[in-house]
């Protein structure tokens, strides 16, 4: 019988969050996403086992995440994505459900495909809101780099919820995340599953050419252009409203 994903994760040596952040913070990085069927994870993880460790928080190697993405009334951030504009901005609040840790995050994708990420701690009660302090943070972090996005107009546009596991290379700044059971909902209540029957595997490294990327490509997986925010909007919002 094939091992479950949870059983496979238990084979890795654990690493705590503080140690992981010290080893591979990756605030500036290249992200490559891959869609992998659950049945294909075992041979991939077997090959990663010698050189990677697994993030463990309070004894858990998979954690629930909830992200609320923000956009302007005209969906400027979404439109920048589909039109290929660079730099382009993504803003969200992220809640780590079990620990109730929350953050406001801004991600800026530049012309060279490098991703800049900035974040600040947020009271969980403000998950899904941009407070006055949050707006000041965004203005300081990205305001000058995304002048065509009106930060004061940003409001909740999509919620995603999923389970995530994270592996990190023993040497070098590489993280690999595994997101499954990815679901999305609109503020009005419309909801759906984003990638049924597939796990989103994302390799995060300085140049997009990590050992994890090589192993995924050797297994026949090519990078996929996938944004949870864009996919959720396109799956749940009628074409005439976007």
CATH label of the domain that carries residue 203: 3.20.100.30
* Beta bridge pairs of residue 118: 106
Peptide bond between residue 14 and the one before it cis (omega within 30 degrees of 0): no
Domain count of the fold of the chain: 1
Helices 41-48 and 211-218 sit at what angle, rounded to 10 degrees? 140
User: Each residue of 72-106: pLDDT tens digit?
Assistant: 999 999 999 999 888 999 999 999 999 999 999 99
1 pLDDT tier (thresholds 50, 70, 90):
very low
CA distance 7 to 214: 24
Q: What is the pLDDT of residue 80?
A: 93
66 or 188, which is more confident? 66
CA distances from 78 to 70, 157, 158, 168 (A): 10, 10, 11, 30
Cα dihedral 221, 216, 194, 225 sign: negative
Cβ atoms 14, 52 nearer than 8 A: no
Owning domain of residue 102: 5-241
pTM: 0.88
């Amino acid at each position: 019988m094939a091992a479950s994903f949870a059983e496979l994760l238990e084979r890795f040596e654990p690493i705590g969050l503080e140690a992981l952040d010290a080893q591979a913070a990756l605030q500036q990085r290249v992200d490559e996403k891959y869609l992998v069927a659950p049945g294909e994870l075992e041979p991939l993880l077997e090959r990663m086992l010698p050189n990677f460790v697994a993030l463990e928080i309070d004894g858990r190697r998979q954690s629930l995440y909830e992200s609320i993405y923000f956009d302007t009334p005209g969906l400027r951030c979404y439109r920048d994505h589909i039109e290929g504009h660079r730099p382009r901005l993504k803003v969200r609040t992220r809640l780590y459900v079990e620990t109730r840790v929350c953050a406001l995050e801004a991600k800026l994708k530049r012309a060279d495909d490098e991703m800049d990420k900035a974040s600040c701690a947020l009271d969980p009660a403000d998950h899904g809101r941009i407070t006055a302090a949050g707006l000041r943070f965004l203005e300081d972090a990205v305001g000058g780099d995304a002048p065509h996005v009106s930060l004061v107009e940003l409001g909740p546009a999509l919620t995603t919820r999923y389970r995530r596991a994270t592996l990190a290379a023993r040497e070098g700044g590489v993280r690999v995340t595994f997101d499954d059971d990815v679901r999305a909902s609109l503020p009005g209540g419309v909801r759906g599953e984003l990638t049924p029957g597939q796990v989103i595997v994302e390799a995060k490294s300085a140049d997009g050419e990590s050992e994890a990327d090589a192993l995924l490509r050797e297994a026949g997986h090519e990078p996929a252009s996938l944004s949870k925010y864009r996919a959720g909007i396109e799956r749940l919002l009628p074409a005439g409203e976007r």
